[in-house]
Structure 1
Amino acid sequence: MQPPSRRTFLALGLITLTAACTTEGATPPTPDNSGPDPDHPVRLRAVAATDTLLAAYDTLLTTPGDRTPLLQTLRAETAQHRAALAQGLPPTSIPPSTSTTTPPTPPTPPTPPTAPTPPTLATLEHQTAQSHLADLTTARPPLARLLASVSAANALHATALGAPTDQPTPSSTPTPTPSNTPTPGTALPALQKALSAEHAAVYGYGVVGAHLPDDQQRTDARTAYAAHQSQRDAWQRLITTLGATPAPAAAGYRLPFPVTDPTTATHLAAHLETSLTTVYADLVADLPTPHRPTAATALRDCTLRAHRWGAPDTPFPGIPTPLPTPTQT
């Protein structure tokens, strides 16, 4: 890949890539006149799955070892997931967590050889991620955004625990049919924003690849470049199906910082992927239900690539940390 030779630059970074988003991942309280909150069953299932995961962490933490610091960090993030997923539920409807902040009593005797082998922690993280994605089509938009973010975090946890990184699936955008084609008035602005972000990412990876040595990093950059091209093309096809003209790529993009060597190139790659996680977390909430899994998959893939490029991990990929609540003085 060669860096673009054009020198007309537009903003690349939070101005171009980061979509407007709320600061809370949880669903706001339901008005009294709206009846039962339809998200309650979804939240209860998510909390139950997370409790199973917490219990598995606690069992492993009863035996200290080399991985104890990692397990403690991942468990703490999982506890944050539970708190966010339980927000808005009546206290009486939430089953008490079976986990504690300190290791429980010694584990039960070993499982008999004839019993099924319990899943590894990495496998359990993957299963929890899938269970959250299964409810994307029934959750309301704010909760769908949270579920997609937590699912991406679960995938990241599984990778940290030694599971192989999932291969990106950028071409998985479903073919629109009369029954699942998004309504242009509600989906089009969000899709155009995602498309513009992918245009910027493709440009950015052209710069990244040109400054990396011909080794595994350059191979990774080529793979990411192709993935973003494919995702860009998928959004273009969907927007065309809506009868709209896809947003064109800009003549060029201003980089968020100078890229002059392999170190700054990897920083740019991490910046691109991290910025895209915010775009895709918001897109999950903005798209109609048939297309939410595609945006959630893109969120997961960007989260894993950001980690590979050295970006700091967060408990809620794509969702900014809520600001402290102002207090009166």
Structure 2
Amino acid sequence: PSASTPPPAEPTSVPDAGQVLALLATADRTAAADAADVPGGSLARLLASIAASRAGLEAQLAAALGVPAPDAGSPAVATPADAATPGSPTSTAGAPSPAAPQPADVPSTDRIGIVAAEDQAGYGYEVLAAKLDDPSRSAARAAAAVHRARAETWAQAWALDGTTSDPRRATYALPAGLDDPATALALAQSLEVGLTTTYASAVADSARASRPELVAALLAASADAAAWGAPTTAFPGLPERVD
């Protein structure tokens, strides 16, 4: 070849599915860590949502490959143990409750909102457990226990338990028609999607020291929403960015 002829291009290797899965896991961890560290609350909220989105993609790819998703290294919260198919979510029974940030690090409105949302989710799942057939009934019963435990953990850690500020109620308003499996499933999805919004808002409002636990709780709620068949969104917990 002449001196002006460029050398042949080096072949570009295409990552296999396992490598893509590992890259998604790294991206998930990076976004979650950045959400805990950036100075601005709005940016932290966005990064936490991105971390949840990447974790969702990671879980979908792992399920398609038939392999476990890589360990994201997040703080312990109740999350589905395995990939689930819509309408047949995995059980969250036995999963630990989150460690609660210090009360001074989380605004009062967010603390009350988190406890109320978790307790409402627990109540909603208890009602669903009476309406659904197995395996969804068992999953709803397990989810109810997890959400009730989370609400109790947060309420005690934040000194809300038994006070006039405790937002937990005996009953909550639920949609009509829960004998219809589709309506029941939609309620489960909406409970988890609502929690993603609650936790994303708390990430934005809270001090940096409290964010890791709140980000982990957002990721858990997003994963549970997907396990119940909620549509995938690019920005979990950010309703203003839903198309």
TM-score normalised by the chain length of structure 1: 0.56
Deviations 1:171-228 (A, max 9, x none): 2315x6xxxx3427x622111111111121111001111111132x222212321221
Q: 2:25 aligns with which of 126, 145, 153?
A: 126
Aligned-residue CA RMSD (Å): 3.1
Say whether residues 1:307 and 2:226 are aligned partners. yes
CA distance in 1 between counterparts of 2:13 and 2:241 reads: 43
Alignment of 1:244-323 (within 5 A): 246-322=165-241
The answer to whether the 8 Å contact 1:148/1:296 transfers is yes
Change over 3 Å in CA distance of 1:158–1:307 after alignment to 2? same
Alignment of 1:137-176 (within 5 A): 137-139=36-38, 140-162=40-62, 164=68, 168=79, 171-174=97-100
The answer to whether the 8 Å contact 2:42/2:204 transfers is yes
CA distance in 2 between counterparts of 1:282 and 1:212 reads: 31
Change over 3 Å in CA distance of 1:214–1:118 after alignment to 2? closer
CA distance in 2 between counterparts of 1:321 and 1:107 reads: 43
Q: Which amino acid aligns with 1:183?
A: A
Q: Which amino acid aligns with 2:128?
A: V
Quote how far apart the aligned CAs of 1:254 are: 1.4
Q: 2:121 aligns with which of 183, 190, 201?
A: 201
The sequence identity of aligned pairs, in percent, is: 36
CA distance in 2 between counterparts of 1:301 and 1:218 reads: 20
Match of residue 77 from structure 1? none
Q: Which amino acid aligns with 1:173?
A: A
The answer to whether the 8 Å contact 1:173/1:291 transfers is no
Q: Which amino acid aligns with 1:136?
A: A
Count of matched residue positions in the alignment of Structure 1 and Structure 2 = 208
Q: Which amino acid aligns with 1:234?
A: T
Q: Which amino acid aligns with 1:126?
A: A
Unaligned runs of 5+ in 2: 1-8, 72-77, 80-94
Q: Which amino acid aligns with 1:161?
A: L
CA distance in 2 between counterparts of 1:154 and 1:323 reads: 16
CA distance in 2 between counterparts of 1:109 and 1:138 reads: 34
TM-score normalised by the chain length of structure 2: 0.74
CA distance in 1 between counterparts of 2:181 and 2:242 reads: 34
Unaligned runs of 5+ in 1: 1-104, 112-116, 325-329
Say whether residues 1:183 and 2:104 are aligned partners. yes
Quote how far apart the aligned CAs of 1:119 are: 5.6
Change over 3 Å in CA distance of 1:270–1:108 after alignment to 2? same
Q: Which amino acid aligns with 1:189?
A: T
Q: Which amino acid aligns with 1:122?
A: L
Match of residue 82 from structure 2? none
The answer to whether the 8 Å contact 1:149/1:317 transfers is yes
Deviations 1:276-308 (A, max 9, x none): 111111011122222211111111111111111
Change over 3 Å in CA distance of 1:156–1:138 after alignment to 2? same
CA distance in 1 between counterparts of 2:240 and 2:182 reads: 27
Quote how far apart the aligned CAs of 1:322 are: 4.2
Alignment of 1:54-133 (within 5 A): 108=12, 120-133=19-32
Quote how far apart the aligned CAs of 1:321 are: 3.4
Q: Once structures 1 and 2 are overlaid, which stretch shifts more, 250-259 or 153-162?
A: 250-259
Secondary structure, in 3 states, of the residue corresponding to 1:220?
A: helix
Point out the structure with max Rg over C-alpha: 1
Quote how far apart the aligned CAs of 1:123 are: 2.0
Secondary structure, in 3 states, of the residue corresponding to 1:321?
A: helix
